[in-house]
Amino acid sequence: MVGILAKLLMQVRFLAGALALAFLITIAAPAAAQQPSSVNPTASAVQERQLLQELNRIQGRVSIPDRKSDVLEQPAGRDWRQWHQVTLRWIGAIAILGTLALLVVFYLARGQVKLERGFSGRKIVRFSAVERFVHWLTATCFLVLAVSGLNVTFGKALLLPLLGPSAFSTWSELAKYSHNFLSFPFTIGVILIFLMWIGSNIPNRTDVEWVKRGGGIIGKDHPPAGHFNAGQKMIYWIVVLGGGASAVTGYLLLFPFYGTEISGMQLAQIVHSVVAVLFIAAMLGHIYIGTIGMEGAFEAMGEGTVDVNWAKEHHPLWLEDELTRTKETQAQAAARPAE
């Protein structure tokens, strides 16, 4: 029984082998017939155009220990150039000059927001010394970062003709170093602002009302507000999110090719510069309202105190809170018998 089975198996195997051989011969025959008289070594060669169509870049292997040099060709560099030299300049110019123009028109039309009841002469503390220090630390760094950054975007168009190549390079190198070094205190400032004021910057129902009434910017309306009104909360979030985004992308630019490659670097620059010019435009508005735009506002960050009438008109809910809190502490002090 076992013998017969083994014989059968052998026969099957032989048959299968013969079949496979026949199959191989049939497929090999036409291939041999097609063999050209001369070899075409480029039949399977990589083609530049095809590689560029697939990925818009050509990457290979290099024998030098420089990872980023294995990109043979990245035509995207030309697109980035177009972005940097044309698109970004338009966005920047429109955002910054447009905001400035709007502010001038607004100032001429509306004038300064005056204190309706005038100054009372009585002051109330609005920002502590620590708060003011953090604000001005961040603000000075921001101004230097803005000027030195815009120098990269617009400097050679605006300043180079005035200064000449050698002086402009010296200035640009200085500007670049200040941009790089002041990024650190600026980032610390943004983090401190985030922590310090997050409590009074969560949007709430008062803000809806404030926005509905246009913040009292037009006319003589004074919608109620707490420590910060909706407009100031917006500035807060622009600083926190804009500062965060410019810091992350800025550090990517500052430590190039650590974890990013060429397209990542281009993207980091694109995000950094767009965020930066919009940030600058927003801060122009902030600077306007904090200085010539509103009577009695600057001293809040200047000396740290504001006039009680100013607080009554612009931040009545905050003033109430402050007054009840001082009353409570005074009451507590009075209730505690002297020993």
Binding footprint of ligand HEM on the chain (CB under 6 A): 84, 88, 142, 145-146, 149-150, 152-153, 176, 179, 183, 186-187, 246-247, 250-251, 253-254, 269, 272-273, 276, 279-280
Question: d(Cα 155, Cα 172) in Å, to the nearest integer?
Answer: 8
Q: Is 105 helix (H, G, I), strand (E, B) or coil?
A: helix
Question: d(Cα 113, Cα 294) in Å, to the nearest integer?
Answer: 5
Structural tokens at position 78: 């030309």
Looking at the DSSP bridge assignments, the partners of residue 73 are: 58
| C-beta closer to other proteins: residue 66 or 339 | 66
The one among 101, 114, 173, 195 contacting other proteins by CB under 8 A: 173
Considering the rule CB under 8 A, would residue 189 count as an interface residue with other proteins?
A: no
Considering the rule CB under 8 A, would residue 265 count as an interface residue with other proteins?
A: yes
User: Smallest distance from the beta carbon of 215 to ligand HEM, in angstroms?
Assistant: 25
| C-beta closer to other proteins: residue 119 or 177 | 177
Considering the rule CB under 8 A, would residue 69 count as an interface residue with other proteins?
A: yes
- Burial class (CB within 10 angstroms; exposed 0-12, middle 13-18, buried 19+) of 316: middle
- Burial class (CB within 10 angstroms; exposed 0-12, middle 13-18, buried 19+) of 253: middle
User: Smallest distance from the beta carbon of 75 to ligand HEM, in angstroms?
Assistant: 20
Count of residues that bind other proteins according to CB under 8 A: 60
User: Smallest distance from the beta carbon of 211 to ligand HEM, in angstroms?
Assistant: 27
The one among 2, 4, 45, 335 contacting other proteins by CB under 8 A: 45
Which 74-103 positions form the footprint of other proteins (CB under 8 A)? 74-78, 80-81, 84-85
Question: d(Cα 154, Cα 93) in Å, to the nearest integer?
Answer: 9
Positive or negative, the Cα torsion across 276, 244, 134, 303?
A: positive
Considering the rule CB under 8 A, would residue 220 count as an interface residue with other proteins?
A: no
69 binds, among other proteins, ligand HEM, none (CB under 5 to 8 A by kind): other proteins
Cβ-contact 226, 315 below 8 angstroms = yes
Return the closest-CA partner of residue 139 out of 248, 296, 280, 274. Answer: 280
Looking at the DSSP bridge assignments, the partners of residue 113 are: 294
Question: d(Cα 40, Cα 28) in Å, to the nearest integer?
Answer: 20
273 binds, among ligand HEM, other proteins, none (CB under 5 to 8 A by kind): ligand HEM
| C-beta closer to other proteins: residue 173 or 209 | 173
Question: d(Cα 190, Cα 281) in Å, to the nearest integer?
Answer: 18
User: Smallest distance from the beta carbon of 91 to ligand HEM, in angstroms?
Assistant: 11
Question: d(Cα 233, Cα 223) in Å, to the nearest integer?
Answer: 15
User: Smallest distance from the beta carbon of 261 to other proteins, in angstroms?
Assistant: 11
- Residues at the contact surface with other proteins, assessed by CB under 8 A: 38, 40-49, 51, 58-64, 66, 68-78, 80-81, 84-85, 151-153, 155-156, 160, 165-166, 168-169, 172-173, 176-177, 180-181, 254-258, 262, 265-266, 269
